[in-house]
Amino acid sequence: MTVNDFAPAPPGKPLDDARHFLKSTGIDGWLTRDYRYTNPVFEAALGRRVEHLTRPIWLWIPANGEPRLLAHEVDAERFPEGSPEISAYGSREQMVAGLRSLLDGIRKIAMEYSPMYELPRVGRVDAGTIELVRSLGVEVVSSGDVIQYATERWSPDQLQSHFYAVEALDRIVKQTFQYVGENIRWALTEHDIAEHIRGKFDRAGLEFDDGPVVAFNEHSS
């Protein structure tokens, strides 16, 4: 079965969703790797953040079977109860041996690799890591579709929240232009208009980090 033939299921837990996708699309597993928090996909796939990890950490999610972690001895104890089973390594040689064991009998895996760097958000794994994994005799394909299916789909509540935000923003934009038109004679400043919009955001219950940006003429560049 190809990705185009895939029949999605309702969003669930990332690890379960990943296995459903892999099994349905003929990929043997998903190997995601992190080092010093450079790959946010690892945390999203695991479904939690684990603090103070200092060495390369691998999460193997097979299409058939239970997920497993490969972690350095100094990090292995940092994972809370309920995490996937952990295999510990103490040297590079042991790490490579651990990877070889995880991938024994496996032909095709997905990793955070983007062919020709087409999707920068997906390309989290360096070329050397890809070379290492390929040297173990497996084909590496992009995990872009797995990431999207397992970690980035909206629940019904999230979808409704999006619809609410769209309607609120559309209404606020129209009301703001009306406000500017009604008060144009009063020498409105960019700050005045931005504060007006922020007030409407607050009253509508919208959450925002910055902005809005209101800029006229030379300030808009």
What six digits make up the tokens of 186? Answer: 């009063």
Q: Is the peptide bond before 212 cis (omega within 30 degrees of 0)?
A: yes
Report the pLDDT value the prediction gives residue 9, as an integer from 0 to 100: 56
23's CB contacts (< 8 A; 6+ apart) are: 63, 64
Mean pLDDT by 10-residue block, N- to C-terminus, for the chain (221 residues)? 53 87 96 97 95 98 97 97 96 98 98 95 96 98 96 89 97 97 91 96 92 87 67
Domain with CATH 3.40.350.10 in the chain: 3-151
The partner residues of 215 in beta bridges, in order of sequence, read none
DSSP state, residue 69: E
The helix-helix angle for 92-102 and 127-134 (nearest 10°) equals: 60
Q: In the 3-class helix/strand/coil scheme, how is 12-56 assigned residue by residue?
A: CCHHHHHHHHHHHHCCCEEEEEECCCCCHHHHHHHCCCCCCCCCC
Number of neighbours of residue 114 by Cβ within 10 angstroms: 17
Which run of H or of E encompasses 84?
Answer: none
The CATH T-level fold of domain 3-151 is: Creatine Amidinohydrolase; Chain A, domain 1 (3.40.350)
